[in-house]
Structure 1
Amino acid sequence: MRQGSSSGGATNDEFLSENEEKTRDLILTLPFFDVMLGQELDLLARHMNHVALRRGEHLFLEGDPGDSMYFVVSGLFDVMKKTASGDYRTVARIGRGGTIGEMTLLDKAQRSATVMARQPAVVLLLSRKGFNVLTDRYPAIGIKLLKRIMRMLSLQMRRTTSRLADHLHEEQE
């Protein structure tokens, strides 16, 4: 993974570094951040990084410590679970506008799946440290982030429940 870094220590009235400006530009491309205002976008850019991945490169492995979430700017990712036999099965594909690893910001658990770039990709990384700084120092941003994450998790749970119900129905027939 090739990563751009942000200083994380800048104040509101300082100019963004070149890397932070690129991060801000990438943030602006994602619907997840539509609720953020100008100054909030600058603060996000200071506490996030952008990462480029090559095809076949792992974002993380199942069982890794969970310390960040990712926002997919471009590319496509396979989410794979290890089966009882030790093989991997693709359980989801996540593309532009999707998020990866959001549960770990909330529950601090290990990664529940392996995620691999199916094609060259760019993601924005929000570390737990950056998330905590944003939620502690800038509660309005923290609330917006948490509301968006909770909404996404709720939608994912509804989809999973529907898929499970369909699967159980098929097994009974």
Structure 2
Amino acid sequence: MTEIIKGHKNLLNNDLLDILALNPLFSTLDNCELEQIITHLNIVKLKKGEILFREGDKGNYACFLVSGEMDIVKDSVYGYVNVLASLNKGQSIGEMSIIDNTSRYATLLARTEASIITLTQADFNLILEKYTKTGIKILKGIARLLSINMQKVSGRLSDYMQPLH
């Protein structure tokens, strides 16, 4: 059973600040700003093989991997499961979920025991209201991460494209 630990008392430590600072969403925040947002985070502990969310679920929180390994998987039309990517410490998934309510495009599965920090859309909206400058920095981080991901996808797609002439 997935264990969810609410509140910041379980989260506030230097290791967590270091892990969050690795992620492009938070890389421009100083320790004071990171401490501001920690009160709005929860930690989720998963056992090996547990699913945090499934493809098609409503997305309303972003996930940041603190420990362990997670696989992003998607069912193929041929009936098998494709591992799209694997997440390691400091990486994230579902960042757009704190901006809009789109459905999850894939399933998130714990390859090993794992701990994940979550930031809900509601808590992100509170951060924007209470700590506007910090919230804007996070929004810029989302844009930066989307740009990085778009460049990766464009590079992969170009390998499969036929020349235009």
Q: For the superposition of Structure 1 and Structure 2, which TM-score range results when normalised by the shorter chain? A: 0.7 to 0.9
Match of 2:58 among 58, 65, 69: 65
Deviation >6 Å, runs of 4+: none
Amino acid at match of 2:43: H
Against the structure 1 CA distance between its residues 45 and 25, is the aligned structure 2 distance closer, same or farther, given a 3 Å change threshold? farther
Question: Number of paired residues?
Answer: 160
More helix by share: 1
Alignment partner of 1:21 is 2:12 = yes
RCO higher in 1 or 2 (8 Å CA, sep ≥ 6)? 2
Normalising to structure 1: TM-score of the pair?
0.83
CA shift for structure 1 position 29: 2.6
2:88 maps to which residue?
95
Contact 2:11–2:43 (8 Å) recurs in 1: no
Alignment partner of 1:156 is 2:149 = yes
Q: Distance in 1 between matches of 2:48 and 2:161?
A: 35
Deviates more, 1:153-162 or 1:86-95: 86-95
Q: Distance in 1 between matches of 2:31 and 2:157?
A: 41
Normalising to structure 2: TM-score of the pair?
0.87
Against the structure 1 CA distance between its residues 79 and 20, is the aligned structure 2 distance closer, same or farther, given a 3 Å change threshold? closer
Amino acid at match of 1:2: E
Deviates more, 1:133-142 or 1:35-44: 35-44
**Other structure's SS at 1:168 match:** coil
Q: Distance in 1 between matches of 2:11 and 2:112?
A: 25
Q: Distance in 2 between matches of 1:160 and 1:166?
A: 10
CA shift for structure 1 position 69: 0.3
Alignment partner of 1:165 is 2:134 = no
Instruction: Name stretches of at least 5 consecutive residues in structure 1 with no aligned partner.
Output: 7-16
Amino acid at match of 1:3: I
Match of 2:128 among 135, 138, 158: 135
1:85 maps to which residue?
78
CA shift for structure 1 position 25: 4.6
